Structure 1
Amino acid sequence: MAMAMLSPATIELVGAAGATLTTLCWLPQAVKVIRDKDTRALSLPANLAFTLGVALWLVYGIALNNWPLIGSESVTLALMLTIVATKLRYG
């Protein structure tokens, strides 16, 4: 299916759905890290790089005034900062 065949509303809906799913996937990890305080299996460099990438996507979304991107990246950034802070505190 060519993208030209999709309406702008459908494209926004697809983007919002994708953003929601990729954001919510981090919620169980953040809850587990907070609850167990066990972060030994998590890579600090990988999580730092991902968190920086999320922050840059957030800046990009703000520059474009793209609300699905801004919303999802804001929530993802909050979750990732929680995971990274827990990793730094508990190793």
Structure 2
Amino acid sequence: MCAIDVAKASGKVCTRTPDSRRPGRRGSTVWDVPATTAAITELGEQLVAAGIEKITVESTSDYWRIWFCLLESAGLTVQLVNARDVKNVPGRPKTDKLDAV
């Protein structure tokens, strides 16, 4: 699975995939991706190669559009969630990394 917290200049990407070192467990990887056509297209290729099929994108404003369109064109299923509905989880600080996770 993959989630992306989108901002104006970049997105914080989090993937959760099976952990080869710990059978039956998953590992998280979080990194930044620039909000450019080339970087998002490359991300889509990486996610497809990793076997990820569904992406959740959280965004304010209309920054999500390039992410949604390019990832969908890579063959991924993309769902957009409203940042207002998923932020401020009780007991957790508000950061872009934690939003992606």
Under a length normalisation based on structure 1, what TM-score does the superposition of the two structures give?
Answer: 0.33
Larger relative contact order (CA 8 Å, sep ≥ 6): 1
Comparing both structures, which one devotes a greater share of its residues to helix?
Answer: 1
Comparing both structures, which one devotes a greater share of its residues to strand?
Answer: 2
Greater Rg, structure 1 or structure 2?
A: 1
Under a length normalisation based on structure 2, what TM-score does the superposition of the two structures give?
Answer: 0.31
